[in-house]
Amino acid sequence: MFDPIVALAGLLVGFVVGLTGMGGGALMTPILVLLFHFEPLVAVSSDIVAAFVMKPVGGAVHWRRGTGHRGLVLWLMLGSIPAAFAGVLLLRSFGSEQVIQSVVKNALGVALLVVACGLIVRPLLQRQVRDEPPAPLAVARVRTLIIGVIGGLVVGITSVGSGSLMIVMLLILYPRMRLSQMVGTDLVQAIPLVGSAALAHLIFGDFHFSLTASILVGSIPGVFVGARFSSRAPDYVIRPALIVVLTASALKLLGVGTLLVGVVAALMTLGAVAFSVTLGHRAARKRLLAAEREASAPMLSNGGG
């Protein structure tokens, strides 16, 4: 049956996705497992089918604009499409349902830790992209293919990685690639990648139509609302908060005790607050200095006249 509480969670996750551009699987899947107590395979299967419905929206925009690099998209697809399908088959090869659920849960926990680390290093890599002048891109075919294989396997098993993990790997391999082109490439290649994983989960996974429908009812409007606020969202507040949430979710999925998870989350929250306050103070000082320069500019021009 349709679940309005899941739809509300989908609305919140969609808003964060629209706000930050990160993949929704890193948030929705652990919510389904930890808060709503769905079996890990049910959560992964249903969430990835929902993601396949939503992915073409952003990918189509970038394809029409030509921001996706077609050579990169091709070699990523050659690795990710079969790997995503194979990831689901790999799960089924473990045999018993209990083992499969345990593998999915642990793999999801590891994937969330990797995504949290990616949120930390991504701004550093993006700064390098902004600082370097654009240059003709030579496609490293084998290494790009390997990125596709790794990303496809992770998405097939956990539903996480098509938007959060793969773009970090692309930033590492192609540090001088324009950021808009990298985002476009990632979004375009994610459509067939998620499509392959969704097909495999429909056939071999544990897909629940009502759960997917509940996710979509909330997440679609959430993405649109979040995207409208994305330009005004303070990254120095949102990113640390996401890192804390993802890390705590990962530790819980990996079986770490609630008390230890709470201690780690509390310490990380204190660090995140200190970090956000420091960056917020710096941003306020920059705005103040810029305003003072703008105010003094007419006075200087009048004095010179």
Looking at the structure, tell me whether residues 21 and 160 fall in a common domain: yes
Q: What pLDDT score does 60 carry?
A: 61
Q: What pLDDT score does 115 carry?
A: 86
Looking at the structure, tell me whether residues 103 and 25 fall in a common domain: yes
- Is the pTM of the predicted complex or chain greater than 0.85? no
Q: What is the pLDDT of residues 261-282, one digit of tens each?
A: 888 888 888 887 787 677 667 7
Looking at the structure, tell me whether residues 285 and 193 fall in a common domain: no
Looking at the structure, tell me whether residues 47 and 147 fall in a common domain: yes
Distance of alpha carbon 284 from alpha carbon 243, whole angstroms: 23
242 falls within a domain: no
243 falls within a domain: no
- Among 178, 59, 202, smallest CA distance to 128 is for 178
> Mean pLDDT across the stretch 158-167?
80
> Mean pLDDT across the stretch 93-111?
89
User: In degrees, to the nearest 5, what angle opens at C-alpha 130 toward C-alphas 133 and 238?
Assistant: 170
DSSP 173-224: H-TTS-HHHHHHHHHHHHHHHHHHHHHHHHHHS---HHHHHHHHHHHHHHHH
Distance of alpha carbon 214 from alpha carbon 46, whole angstroms: 10
What is the band of 128 on the pLDDT scale with cuts at 50, 70, 90?
Answer: low
> Mean pLDDT across the stretch 160-178?
80
Domain boundary among 185, 200, 235: 235
- Among 265, 221, 216, smallest CA distance to 243 is for 265
Query: CB-based burial of residue 96 (10 Å sphere; 0-12 exposed, 13-18 middle, 19+ buried)?
Result: exposed
What is the band of 305 on the pLDDT scale with cuts at 50, 70, 90?
Answer: very low
Q: What pLDDT score does 134 carry?
A: 54
> Mean pLDDT across the stretch 249-270?
88
| CA separation, residue 113 to residues 195, 253, 277 (Å) | 24, 11, 24
Looking at the structure, tell me whether residues 149 and 209 fall in a common domain: yes
251 falls within a domain: no
Q: What is the pLDDT of residues 178-235, one digit of tens each?
A: 776 777 787 788 889 999 999 999 998 889 999 999 999 998 888 888 777 766 666 6
Looking at the structure, tell me whether residues 136 and 192 fall in a common domain: yes
178 falls within a domain: yes
Looking at the structure, tell me whether residues 291 and 217 fall in a common domain: no
pLDDT for residue 149 is more than 90: yes
250 falls within a domain: no
Q: What pLDDT score does 57 carry?
A: 65
pLDDT for residue 73 is more than 50: yes
Q: What pLDDT score does 155 carry?
A: 92
286 falls within a domain: yes
202 falls within a domain: yes
Distance of alpha carbon 191 from alpha carbon 55, whole angstroms: 6
Looking at the structure, tell me whether residues 291 and 212 fall in a common domain: no
Q: What pLDDT score does 131 carry?
A: 46
Count of domains forming the chain: 2
Per the prediction, the chain carries an average pLDDT of 82
241 falls within a domain: no
Looking at the structure, tell me whether residues 226 and 293 fall in a common domain: no
Looking at the structure, tell me whether residues 86 and 186 fall in a common domain: yes
Per the structure, the complete domain to which residue 277 belongs is given by 257-305
Q: What pLDDT score does 137 carry?
A: 73
Distance of alpha carbon 287 from alpha carbon 164, whole angstroms: 31
Helix (H, G, I), strand (E, B) or coil at 136: coil
Looking at the structure, tell me whether residues 55 and 190 fall in a common domain: yes
Distance of alpha carbon 44 from alpha carbon 23, whole angstroms: 13
Q: What pLDDT score does 286 carry?
A: 75
Q: What is the pLDDT of residues 46-66, one digit of tens each?
A: 999 998 887 776 656 556 666
Looking at the structure, tell me whether residues 12 and 57 fall in a common domain: yes
